[in-house]
Each structure stands twice: as structure tokens, then as C-alpha cells.
Amino acid sequence: MYSKGTPTLSKSRFLSGLQCPLRLWFECYAPVLAGESSLAQKARMEIGQDVGRLATELYPGGELIEEDHVHHEDAVRTTNATMTFSDVPAIFQAAFLHDDIRIRTDILEKFDRNRWNLIEVKSGVKVKADYLYDLGIQYYVLKGSGLDINQTCIMHLNGDYVYNGFQLDVRDFFHFQDLTDHVVSIQSKIPSELSKQKEILARPEPPHMIPSLSCKPSNNCEFRTHCAKDLPDYPVIELPGLTQAKWDALAELGTLSIRDIPDSFPLSELQQRVRTCVITEEEHVDMTLQTELTDIEFPIHFLDFETMGPTIPYYAGTSPYQTIPFQWSDHILFKDGSLEPRHFLWDERTDPREEFIRSLLETLGQVSTIFIYTDYEKNILKGLSEQFPDYHGPLLATLDRMKDLCAIVRTHYYHPKFHGSFSLKSVLPVLVPDMRYDDLAIQEGEQASLEYMRMIEPSTPSEEKKKIRLNLISYCGQDTLAMVKIREELLGRA
């Protein structure tokens, strides 16, 4: 199962080792155990590459080291040669090797004849804590390679940048943050961390690790599914709102399953409900569930939005990652039990927001209940009310009519097969088994956003645009029909 050979560390491997020693070991010896990257993960990588290329425009005359990671030694030689050229203001993807650690720097800017600025480009809009060690390991290798580093910076997107609708101002689009003092301050910690990681990689077998809170999906560990396969059916990591302190206390007790949590262990009301349902293998139905679901005014709207947040703004007056709604779906349930689906999808490259607002207000009317799932739609409407003052009053008026079906489920109902999650994708197959997402071309919101951006791209063939449009309508409509069916099923169980 495990590959042979002595691995070298790289920046990415070093950062993986900081997160989890097992992840580092698997990356080096058992990459076949990694799960396949999602479309969203691949898109984020492409976004990072696009932003990196855009950043190089700030350094006209800069030289790109073109050798790939397979030919690192060749890249090092090319880098060393390029550094001697007096007319090169910056080097992109400069390669270095020190202490058996390989790195490629995003931008190495020549400060003066003998000193350099290290610049790491990030596609986010703020500096994150883990960027410090990202820069730290690069600084360590550069200093070990004999370079004199003047400044160590993160170049990230300027979240306050507003696109004028004509031309991107690249200089204003980026923001520099000098982290030199912080990077220098952690240098004393890096040798000991490197020793730990090299010791782990010297082992013939992977280190023993139990999946923990650091294994949450947001950390994007490609081995998460593999590591979770030996966990019990209801691992304690599925407890909603589990804190690090509670996780540590349960780990100290050797408790891996929710079933085995001691009666005396302090849990929140929701966590205790989950524990009871797992142990009894029964659902929990609060006595006020029916009241919450029937305190309504017909016709009932079941509403869902799809949005995008382009890294590089598309429309005048917008900023990086600003949320732009482009689609809504509304299933309308009338008092006689009839159901009418309606939808809106803007399929042009122009700004969809005003037509989105106008069409939405028309379909919602001025009275009756609106079911949403989480408060996401509320937040979108609040934002639109500020961006489009002419619609401020009507948009805010819809908020008072909204009922959050997710909050109702979370407060008044639980089924052990939810496995601690109240997301629509977790709740629906338990309550309405004949409705699923795995037969849809688009199966989650981030994928919908990516497909929409592909649909409005001028280079996308017209037949492909039509196909994407139908897929988007099916997906968003599935979300609102799912809410109809979930409410119907819960009323039958209340």
C-alpha cells in the first residue's frame, strides 16, 4: 500500500505536518489513500493561480522560473543564475533547496543589490494565522540558502477595492502586509518542528492518530474519509457545537462513540438530545413542533437563492468576493394543497441584482409566510436593501414574513441518522428518502456558483449554456421542493 523512497519536505508538506502528522505521512508514503478533489477545491486552486498571475503584473520585467516541481534541481540552478542578472526586478516561482526542504516563492523582489523581499500571494482578503508559518518556512530556507531578506510580506486582495466597471486597477486590487517581525520571531521554533516531521517520515508505519476537531471539512484534508472509516457509527466528533475543551475531555476518557459518553459528562441541551436519540435509536419530536410549522399564512412560499462571489469583480460598484445573487426558486403552497413552482435565473453577463430583486418582490407579494432554510436568504436581502436604496423598504418588509425551517428542525426535532448535521443535504434523505441530490448534475451550492460563472462566460458554447441553465433550475428547484416535503413529513410526525 505504501510507496517506497525517502521523501523530502516542501512548504506544503511542512504545513500539512503542522496540521496533522498523519496527513504528512500519508502525503509522502500513501497518496493513493487521498480522496478525489471536489470541483470546488479544483476551482479554488485555479483561482489561486489566476490571482498569482495577476500579481506578477505589478513587477514588469520579472522573470518566471518555468521548470516544474519534478525538475526542482534544474529550477534551483535557473533561479541562482537569474538572481545574478542586474536588470531583473523580480523572480516568480524562484526555487530553493536547503536542509532537504524544497520551496518555490511566489515573488522574490530585488530590493537592492544584495537584499530581497519575499512576497507570498494569497487570494483571500485578510491575513490568516497559518500564513505566518507559510512565510516562516520560506524565510528559513532562503536564509539557509544565503539570501539577505529585507522584508517578508503577504500580498492579499484588498477587500475594500471597488471595481469601476471598466478596467481593473491591479495596484489597488492588492494589499501588502509586512509580517517580517513576526516571521523572524518564529524562526527559533522551526528547527524543532522540522526535526519532529523528519522523525515521523523516518517511521516505516504511519503515526497513530484519532480523527479530531481539526479534521473538519473546512481544513480540506484529502485523507479525511480514509481516517474516518474505522470510527464508530456515531463518533463524538458528530456532536453539534463540540468545543475543543469537551473533545479533549472525552479523548482523555477514551470515549470515541456518542453512545459511550458518561451520564455525568456536561453536555448542552442539543448535545444531550443527540446523545439520547443515538442511545435509544429513536427520534425526538418536541411538543411545539406542529405549532411552529402551522403558525403560517397562506399561500406559503418556500424560497432559496443561488449566489456567486467572483474573486475578480464582474460588475461596477462591486468588490472581491462580494455576494451576487443570480437565481431564486419559489415553491408556492396554496391552502387547497396545490403547489406552484416559480423560478428566476439571469443568464446574461450583466449585473443580475436589480432584475433579481424586481422579479422576487413580484412573486412574493406583500403578505403570507416565507419558509427559508438557514438565514442566508435574509442576509442576502439585507445586503441588497443597502446596495439598492429604491427597494430598501420592500426588501426589508419580506424579512418579517420569513420562518427558518432549519432553526425549527434544530430546536424541535432530531433523528439519529442526521449524524449531528442539520444541513438540507443531511436532513432530506432521512425524512424524505425518495428525494436525493446524487442524481442531479449540480449537487451543492458552490458547484452551482461555479457552473453559473461558466454559463455566462462568453467562450462557453451555446448548447453548453442551455444545459447548465437547465441543471441550475433543477438544482435550485430541488432545494425549495425539499423544504415543502420536509415540512410535510414533520407535520406527519408531530
- pLDDT per residue as tens digits for the range 341-388: 999 999 999 999 999 999 999 999 999 999 999 999 999 999 999 999
Does the pLDDT of residue 1 top 60, yes or no?
Answer: no
pLDDT at residue 419 in the model: 96
pTM for the structure as a whole:
0.92
The CA distance from 147 to 142, in Å, is 6
pLDDT at residue 3 in the model: 47
Exposed / middle / buried, residue 431 (Cβ in 10 Å: 0-12, 13-18, 19+): buried
User: Mean per-residue pLDDT for 17-24?
Assistant: 94
Higher-pLDDT residue of 229 and 491 is: 491
pLDDT at residue 82 in the model: 97
The model's pLDDT over 170-191, given as tens digits with 9 standing for 90+, comes to: 999 999 999 999 999 999 999 9
User: Mean per-residue pLDDT for 282-298?
Assistant: 97
Confidence category of residue 76, pLDDT binned at 50, 70, 90: very high
Does the pLDDT of residue 55 top 70, yes or no?
Answer: yes
The model's pLDDT over 399-424, given as tens digits with 9 standing for 90+, comes to: 999 999 999 999 999 999 999 999 99
Confidence category of residue 214, pLDDT binned at 50, 70, 90: confident
281 torsion bin: left (phi>0), alpha (psi -120 to 50), beta (else): left
The CA distance from 396 to 382, in Å, is 7
The CA distance from 214 to 42, in Å, is 22
How many other CB atoms sit within 10 Å of the CB of residue 139?
A: 23
Residue 125 DSSP class: S
pLDDT at residue 218 in the model: 64
Identity of the residue numbered 38: S
The CA distance from 407 to 205, in Å, is 45
pLDDT at residue 5 in the model: 61
In CATH, what class is 9-198? alpha beta
How many Cα atoms within 13 Å fall on the side-chain side of residue 192? 4
Contact 135/154 with Cβ under 8 angstroms? yes
Does the pLDDT of residue 427 top 60, yes or no?
Answer: yes
111 torsion bin: left (phi>0), alpha (psi -120 to 50), beta (else): alpha
Does the pLDDT of residue 210 top 90, yes or no?
Answer: no
> CB neighbours of 418 closer than 8 A, spacing ≥ 6?
426, 427, 430
Hey, what's the cell of 366?
406583500
The CA distance from 221 to 19, in Å, is 9
Domain range summary for the chain, segments of one domain joined by +: 9-198, 231-282, 283-494
Contact 251/231 with Cβ under 8 angstroms? no
**Span 283-494: which CATH code?**
3.30.420.10
User: Mean per-residue pLDDT for 286-292?
Assistant: 96
Omega prior to 232 cis, within 30 of 0: no
Among the residue ranges 192-201, 207-216, 432-441, the one predicted with the least confidence is: 207-216
In order of 93, 109, 151, 184, 305, the CA distances from 127 in angstroms are: 21, 20, 16, 17, 30
Strands 324-333 and 300-308 turn out to be antiparallel
User: Mean per-residue pLDDT for 82-95?
Assistant: 96
The model's pLDDT over 221-275, given as tens digits with 9 standing for 90+, comes to: 899 889 888 889 999 999 999 999 999 999 999 999 999 999 999 999 999 999 9
Hey, what's the cell of 37?
478533489
